[in-house]
Amino acid sequence: MINIIYLFVGLATGGFISLVALKRMKFFDIEKNKKTAEEMINKSKEDSREIINETKNNIENRASALRQESLKKEERLNKAETTLKNKEEMIKKREERNNETRLRAATYSEELNTLQLRIKNVEKDTLQKLTQKTGISTGEMKKKTIEKYQKELNEEGTERLIKNEEWAKENAEKIARKIIINVLQRLCSPTSVETRAINVIVPKDHVKGKIVGRNGENIKEFERLLEVDVVFNDLPNTISISAFQLVKRRVAQKAMEKLTNYRGDINKQVVQKAVQSAERETDDELYEIGKKAVEKMQIKHADKEFLRIVGRLQYRTSYGQNIMKHSMEVGWLAAMIGSELGLNVTTCKVGGFLHDLGKAIDQDPNVKDTHDQLSKEIMEKFGFSWEEVHAAWTHHDAIPQETAEAMIVKAADAISASRPGARQESFDKYIERIRLLEETGSSFEGVEGAFAISAGRELRIIVDPDIIGDERARPMAKSIAQKIEEEVTYPGQIKVNVIRKTKHTEITQ
């Protein structure tokens, strides 16, 4: 019991002590917080004083800057006012000077009018006096004066024209040679000679037998359809195709390539299908060739029929010269010569490029016109200008050339055709030309013999010295050369030499 009493007493005493300790702790915390709050209040007061001072300083600085800026503006305004005043004074002075100038000009104008009236009166009086003394009216005097000056001008113009003509005659050949040499140096294109035969490679020799067919019926049908000649036995694994018309040769080449790669038996129907397919492919190929050629020459034309005709020039030759390459060459030459002379370059280029366009279709048996006439008709059909058509049409003197561009195209055609290696001449034509030269020389009286030498570039005439004297030798050479120019077709130039030889022999006794 006593122990229980002690326990309760102990618990009560401990709780009281704990309560007293807790109150003391709260008291100390309140004091501490109070101090902290006072410190914070003091710090806030100091911060606020600093902010107030800083704001006052900023306000004072801003106010000082505004005062200075307003002073500067006032100075600028004062300067502007002073400048305006000065300008106003200057404008007033200029107006005063202008008014004075106008007054002077008006005065001078009145004086000038007065002087002009006096001059007219003097001229009238003078003319009247001259008319009375000479007995010639004023109109007649004016007419005679005008006629006098016209005569002097005509004489002066004639003299100048004669001098210019003489200068042109003296220097024309030199200038022309210089222009041609410069143009040829600028032109860089290979010669365009091509052969008429082409080879098709056969993978195996036994394929040739399939293509020939029984009794040669396949190859006969092939040659009948395309008008070509086919040779099988010249070279191993090779078939040679030759034709006069190169477009048909191209079709034959494509058709033969199809037959060499054909699997199975070959008969007439297979040959016919191969030819038809090759014709369609060649037609498309001609269009692409013509399109590229026109683009290369920078000629704007998009008609498909026209481009196919142009493309056919790729498969046409003249004396072995490829007409497409020849046409491009003539177009470039004509354009360059035209630019040197200040002519219409486009007309020169188009006329030069299309001058042989008729050769694309002149091998058709139904066509009877010459190639230059065909070129004219095709170009007119597709809307080329008169100048371009005329320049292309007249390169073989179908009519006289009426424009300088037409003459340039003719010259460019001759240059391209006469380039060394540009054309091939057949042996028969060469012999015929040599024979004509010798016959032309022998046709003159007093000629004992005529001999063409140097591949037909020189003709030597041996004359009878008893019939042809020295005084007749030179005129005879000129006459023979003129007759050759009129009657014989030849490349380049031919030199005619007339040789008169006398020999006197005496034997001593």
- Give pLDDT tens digits for 333-378: 899 888 888 889 999 999 999 998 988 888 777 777 888 888 899 9
User: Average pLDDT, stretch 481-502?
Assistant: 83
Share of the chain above pLDDT 70, in %: 88
**pLDDT value at position 354?**
92
How far apart are the C-alpha atoms of 114 and 295, rounded to whole Å? 73
Res. 449: pLDDT tops 60: yes
pLDDT score for 492: 64
Check: CB of residue 432 under 8 Å from CB of residue 468: no
Determine if residue 89 is left, alpha or beta; phi over 0 gives left, psi from -120 to 50 gives alpha, anything else beta. alpha
Q: Using 50, 70 and 90 to split pLDDT, how confident is the model at 53?
A: confident
Residue 442 in this model has a pLDDT that exceeds 80: yes
Instruction: Give Cα separations from 456 to 226, 406, 437, 450, 484 (angstroms).
Output: 38, 30, 8, 12, 12
Q: Supply φ then ψ for residue 174, to 5 degrees.
A: -65, -45
Condensed to tens digits (0 to 9), the pLDDT of residues 132-165 reads 777 777 777 778 778 888 888 888 888 888 888 7
Phi, psi of 458 (to 5 degrees): -145, 140
How many residues comprise the chain?
509
State the pLDDT at residue 13: 58
pLDDT digits (tens, 9 = 90+) for 279-326: 899 999 999 999 999 999 888 877 889 999 999 888 888 777 788 888
Question: What tokens were used for 317?
Answer: 């030759």
CATH topology of domain 197-418: Hypothetical protein af1432 (1.10.3210)
Whole-number Cα distances in Å, 35 to 29, 30, 107, 505: 10, 9, 107, 166
- Torsion sign over Cα 58, 61, 65, 66: positive
User: Which pLDDT band, with edges at 50, 70 and 90, does 428 fall under?
Assistant: low
In the beta sheet, which residues pair with residue 239?
A: 200
* Plot region of 27 (φ>0 → left; ψ -120 to 50 → alpha; else → beta): alpha
- CA-to-CA distance for 37 and 60, rounded, in angstroms? 34
| Reported confidence tier of residue 388, pLDDT bands at 50, 70, 90 | very high
Of the CA atoms within 13 Å of residue 340, those in its CB half-sphere come to 18
> What is the DSSP track for 359-425?
GGTTTSTT--S-HHHHHHHHHHHTT--HHHHHHHHGGG-SS---SHHHHHHHHHHHHHHHSTTS---
| pLDDT score, position 38 | 83
C-alpha to C-alpha distance for 41 and 39, rounded to whole angstroms: 5
- DSSP per-residue codes, 4-45: HHHHHHHHHHHHHHHHHHHHHHHHHHHHHHHHHHHHHHHHHH
Q: Which of 415, 412, 246 is nearest to 318 (CA)?
A: 246
401 confidence band (pLDDT: 50, 70, 90): confident
Higher pLDDT, 224 or 134: 224
What six digits make up the tokens of 377?
A: 């008709």
Q: Do residues 461 and 494 lie in contact, with contact meaning Cβ atoms separated by under 8 Å?
A: no
240-285 tens-digit pLDDT: 888 878 888 888 888 888 888 888 888 888 888 988 998 899 999 9
- The answer to whether 413 touches 352, Cβ cutoff 8 Å, is yes
Cα–Cα distance, 152 to 374 (Å, whole number): 52
At 460, the pLDDT band (50, 70, 90 cuts) reads: very high
Scored b (16 or more CB within 10 A) or e, 93-107 reads: eeeeeeeeeeeeeee
* Average pLDDT, rounded, for the chain: 82
pLDDT of residue 390: 92
pLDDT digits (tens, 9 = 90+) for 330-343: 998 899 888 888 88
pLDDT of 180 higher than 60: yes
CATH number of 427-500: 3.30.300.20
Asked if residue 307 lies in contact with residue 180, where contact means CB atoms within 8 angstroms, the answer is no
Please list the residues that pair with 230 across neighbouring strands: 241
Q: What is the mean pLDDT of residues 380-393?
A: 91
Give the number of other CB atoms < 10 A from CB of residue 192: 21
- Amino acid at the residue 63: A
So where are the chain's domains? 197-418, 427-500
For the stretch 2-42, pLDDT in tens is: 555 545 555 555 555 555 555 556 556 777 787 888 888 88
The CA distance from 472 to 465, in Å, is 10
Q: What is the per-residue pLDDT for 300?
A: 82
* pLDDT value for 165: 79
Report residue 395's pLDDT band, with 50, 70 and 90 as the boundaries. Answer: confident
Report whether 226 contacts 274 (CB < 8 A).
no
What is d(CA 280, CA 286) in angstroms, rounded to the nearest whole number?
A: 10
Would you state the pLDDT for residue 26? Answer: 58
